[in-house]
Structure 1
């Protein structure tokens, strides 16, 4: 009997191909192109912006952001102090119950999606092609607007501001409209700075401002609170002097001021200052490679490769991913809390003040312990959190240099276009030399950023470890740019 060779069919030959997704994304972008052209846009400046004008517009943008962060949403009905996403506010530049409720979450998420598509080769574009670059930026803006609308609907329909049946459908629509319009305005403010009207990136500026505002408030707030120990000031510094003046036992007063629980204390403030100082110190670590001009061999240019090669990008991307996962887990737990699979993802409890905190599931191990004491009591959770933070920050940092055009090959091509050649080396060896430093700096910098974030969280630094890292790296980059352009 003849042998019949049966060849297994190729399962899903198309959907496993990158080319399939590449053609699909290209078709979607082509279909969206007419709509992208209708999006609001900040025009590119036609002439060089003077330094004092950049400072002025940066201050204007920052002022508008602060106003949006204080204007309350019209129509919300919610108990004071209830904030189920309180630990994400600082790092996403959002403020509970205001127009900046969503913060930078939609914008960061949209940028992450497109950069991942670009890095995977599914969405490719030529950065030197003006039309392709404009289409890519327009797609990112459109996705950001859609993410804003989606999150605004999720917040409102999920009962963040009270049941829809209580607040009414017209009010719910009005809340969604307020959040969506604010998201559009924030995107335009960020685009304004990015296109050269101001200094640096709007997203980084907003996060740094939010972190610094939180630190100042928790250090010098004169709000009084009574949680069972008598009248206390919220601000750590104000409370420190209040205890020393009013308490007869000065040693006991000093102990309470340094280590009091449930309110900011002096150890939190000292940890914050220490993390800031360490980050600023490490910013100075760099390797400088010497390049010569092709036409002027005697002219040497230094190209610095910093330890924090990707700056605060790793922790920003990690925060964007975690915030979306946490929000999705909370939404599922509120609706299907008894489902075993939902509880495996994350279980949540509520404090007396209405704050939700993770109590089980995967989310519990990915969230930072509330204090060093809590970290000691839960060693497995602490270990998983430390490994997760360090590994993800290092991974995101390494991937980002390929996604954003910071790899050794792309840097080499840019330097060649500027007419620079590596001193003492041939042109064909430039990529090899840069590969000795750039990937190492990216991974090492990401790992250190993750480790510093963990240290700040465990030490109880004000503003969370992620927020402090974002603020300190942003402030340092602004100082560098200020010093450079003021010369």
Structure 2
């Protein structure tokens, strides 16, 4: 079925793989260049659009409503998610070990991401009237303005797609990871600045007119920063947890090694995929707001809108807002849901955990990280369980006891941590911090493997090596 798309794949622009090994300085240059281009697009308002303040969805998708990156990495992640699910459900049969089939699969993913770029742009523009500059649309026409904005946002998302490819081949880590980390870092740094030096409810404002309550007020005002630091520490610790299964090399007598299975076995991918799914839910929630679809006397659009209101992320703490007032607002209803925000947030956290477990398990099963795939690869190169027979079925049985359990437990952990950190007002959102720490950890491991840390004095001093 994918072969039908080959003529289109052949005419799409491609980022050629490097002909020779990419040097350290070149990787650092391309990573920095991609970051500069991303922030340039992040800061550029689409013609005819109005930039809107950031929220949970924008932070975790590296997007900014009204800018050229309004849909952020959403289309890229959703395209990958859809195709992985199709492969897992055997709707699409692809042998990723075959270079031609892999190239065809990745080309199909790129086509789907491009299509989704314009589809998501249309959903955002047509479902959010505040995104359109009324002064501009008054002279240019509303529909013409909306189509112009959709075109710009779609092109911006396509540029992100190719920047991701450039980073993967010539830079450090992945472009998606860098975009997420950059967006979260921007939110955290700006949030800290507002808390410390903002015009209202900031530490500086409190110190300018001190009272007997100034010290406890300052401590309360700094709590979001403390929560953020706490989440970083917890995630960093979780990244270091692992179990090791002893293996023996059958072709080398006495040669053995431990096979590490990290607690976060599928890394932060469950949260990334769950976040992309949440973006779709958010868009559907916006699209059904005030809509009427009458079926058998029932307004289905209204029912869908009200149901989705229960699983949306909590309102979240906004830097500059009184933290005490934020906590008190948790006892009030929101999003037209007849529940206090704290109870609705619990429904969201439970929903997020379920999504993380589903996506974590599916990703493990379809990406070659399952017990069967790992045991076959280890057996092919000559490794087997120490003290056991050289039988891939035995290794699969042993690995399955650990990998499946750890995948589920790790997915539950990241879902709970992200959800509760969102609720407590962590800067950059709990999900964003979780993703960023994981991304930076992966990047550090890649840099160590490439020898970049030891060859760049500034990086060596930064990590204390």
TM-score band, normalised by the shorter chain? 0.7 to 0.9
Aligned equivalents of 1:148 and 1:111: distance in 2? 13
2:86 counterpart (96, 117, 135):
117
2:351 counterpart (371, 377, 388):
388
- The answer to whether the 8 A contact 1:291-1:421 is kept is yes
| 1:183 partnered with 2:151 | no
| TM-aligned CA deviation for residue 202 of structure 1 | 1.2
Aligned equivalents of 1:52 and 1:177: distance in 2? 36
Aligned equivalents of 2:403 and 2:258: distance in 1? 15
Aligned equivalents of 1:224 and 1:283: distance in 2? 33
Aligned equivalents of 2:204 and 2:227: distance in 1? 19
1:141 counterpart (110, 113, 117):
110
Corresponding residue number in structure 1 for 2:66 = 97
1:161 counterpart (107, 114, 132):
132
Q: Deviations over 1:146-188 (max 9, x none)?
A: 0001122233344332469634254444322221221121111
User: Superposition pairs for residues 370-381 of structure 1, below 5 Å?
Assistant: 370=316, 372-375=327-330, 378=340, 380-381=343-344
1:311 counterpart (257, 267, 275):
267
Q: Deviations over 1:36-69 (max 9, x none)?
A: 1111111222322233332232222222212211
| TM-aligned CA deviation for residue 386 of structure 1 | 2.9
2:417 counterpart (445, 452, 455):
452
Corresponding residue number in structure 1 for 2:223 = 267
2:387 counterpart (417, 424, 430):
424
User: Superposition pairs for residues 217-366 of structure 1, below 5 Å?
Assistant: 217-221=190-194, 231-232=199-200, 239-244=202-207, 246-249=208-211, 251-259=212-220, 265-336=221-292, 340-346=299-305, 360-366=306-312
Q: CA RMSD in A?
A: 2.5
| TM-aligned CA deviation for residue 392 of structure 1 | 2.1
Aligned equivalents of 2:179 and 2:60: distance in 1? 9
Larger radius of gyration: 1
- The answer to whether the 8 A contact 1:70-1:98 is kept is yes
Q: Give the 3 Å change call, closer, same or farther, for CA 39–419 of structure 1 in structure 2.
A: farther
Corresponding residue number in structure 1 for 2:96 = 127
| 1:485 partnered with 2:460 | no
| 1:413 partnered with 2:376 | yes
Q: Give the 3 Å change call, closer, same or farther, for CA 422–47 of structure 1 in structure 2.
A: farther
Aligned equivalents of 1:200 and 1:181: distance in 2? 23
Aligned equivalents of 2:111 and 2:38: distance in 1? 21
The more displaced of 282-291 and 438-447 is 282-291
Aligned equivalents of 1:165 and 1:202: distance in 2? 34
Q: Give the 3 Å change call, closer, same or farther, for CA 412–479 of structure 1 in structure 2.
A: same
Alignment gaps of 5+ in structure 2? 317-325, 333-339, 455-465
Q: Give the 3 Å change call, closer, same or farther, for CA 395–372 of structure 1 in structure 2.
A: farther
The more displaced of 460-469 and 306-315 is 460-469
After TM superposition, the score normalised by the length of structure 1 is 0.81
- The answer to whether the 8 A contact 1:106-1:145 is kept is yes
Count, aligned residues: 425
Corresponding residue number in structure 2 for 1:357 = none
Corresponding residue number in structure 2 for 1:18 = none
| TM-aligned CA deviation for residue 364 of structure 1 | 2.8
Q: Give the 3 Å change call, closer, same or farther, for CA 433–209 of structure 1 in structure 2.
A: same
Alignment gaps of 5+ in structure 1? 1-25, 226-230, 234-238, 260-264, 347-359
